[in-house]
Amino acid sequence: MGGDHGPTVTLPAAVEFLERHAAYSVLLVGREPDLRAWLDRHLPRWQHTFSGRIDLLHADEIVAMDDPPAVALKNKRRSSMRLAIEAVQDGRADAAVSAGNTGALMAIARYVLKTLEGIDRPAIATALPNRTGGSTLMLDLGANVDCTAEHLLQFALMGCALVSALNEAAGESSGRAPTVGLLNVGEEVIKGNDTVRAAGELLRGSSLNFYGNVEGNDIFKGTTDVIVCDGFVGNVALKTSEGLAQMMGSFLKEEFMRSWSTKLVALIAQTVLRRFAKRVDHRRYNGAALLGLRGIVVKSHGSADAYAFRHALSRAADAASKGLNDKIAGALGTESGVLRV
């Protein structure tokens, strides 16, 4: 029910997800009359078409995009967001996906699911494309605006664990420990505020493969496998990169329409241009995992369209099917309650 568009986006995305992934089912959490009305109107035979693969869970309340996290947590215990996360806790769902209020999602998920042993705060992480052909995992992207040096170290640990787990699941493990970069205003050790400098000291003293300080342009260079920062900086960097991708897409379209000579060049290069446009389309990278929880929760952009939200669903399904949360917990050494730092 959340996000800028609610069921007009999330329901078409869920239907397309089911059409593409026959092995999965979805639990739609929200105002059941509204959900059922949309399905009956757009898919009159949905119960037959997706027999046993769509289930509805009624929620009395909705978390508004401007609700303070404390209000969502304490006063809206029957919200669709709360019930979706409780479905993960109860084992009725393997993952929860929401385009709703980020602060509320983090607060509810942390309260209901709890954090992994040794983790103080969950972090929002997503993979961004880089020019090496791979991706750079970046965290935090907005969950924690004020961080301590210890939090940044924990983000690095979780990020490395996730990259290792993803590589192992994809059969791409090289045996090399993921490299970690600390986002800063310069590469020199003396650069940055007190928190960033202290985090650098902790990272240098850890067992992680710490590359050192990196700058904003290193995100898309692929300088390191993981880049850590506080949520304020990470969110600004993410939104800036998305805006740049949108601007480049618009520029290419305008140039194509500008003149016949440009059109001819564009026609000749259309295969390359299409490949480029697809690669930088931020919608393909929609869906950021809340790392550090005892369950899988994925945050979609609030402004996501159906195409983007389907990718968030796919990311959640992929994480659940590969058991990434268990692998992260194992990599962190949390089964023994000791972080390998």
| Residue 306 resides in a domain | no
Total Cβ atoms within 10 A of residue 294: 18
- Mean pLDDT confidence for 264-288: 64
The interaxial angle of helices 270-280 and 260-268, nearest 10 deg, is 80
| Residue 36 resides in a domain | no
| Residue 164 resides in a domain | yes
pLDDT for 337: 41
| Residue 263 resides in a domain | yes
pLDDT per residue over 181-221, tens digit each?
999 999 999 999 999 999 999 999 999 999 999 999 999 99
> In the chain, what percentage of residues exceed pLDDT 90?
63
| Residue 14 resides in a domain | no
pTM of the model: 0.83
- Mean pLDDT confidence for 249-261: 60
Number of compact structural domains in the chain: 1
**Domain extent for 152:** 122-289
| Residue 339 resides in a domain | no
Pairing of strands 296-299, 26-30: unpaired
The 10 Å CB-count burial string (b at 16+, else e) for 181-195 is bbbbeeeeeeebeeb
| Residue 258 resides in a domain | yes
Rounded to whole angstroms, the Cα distance separating 101 from 90 reads: 22
pLDDT for 271: 60
pLDDT per residue over 311-339, tens digit each?
999 999 988 988 888 877 876 764 334 44
Report the CATH number that the domain containing residue 219 is assigned in CATH.
3.40.718.10
Q: Tell me what the pLDDT averaged over the chain comes to.
A: 87
pLDDT for 15: 96
Do the beta carbons of residue 141 and residue 125 sit within 8 Å? yes
pLDDT per residue over 217-239, tens digit each?
999 999 999 999 999 999 898 88
pLDDT at residue 252 greater than cutoff 70: no
Backbone torsions φ then ψ of 108, nearest 5 degrees = -70, -45
| Residue 221 resides in a domain | yes
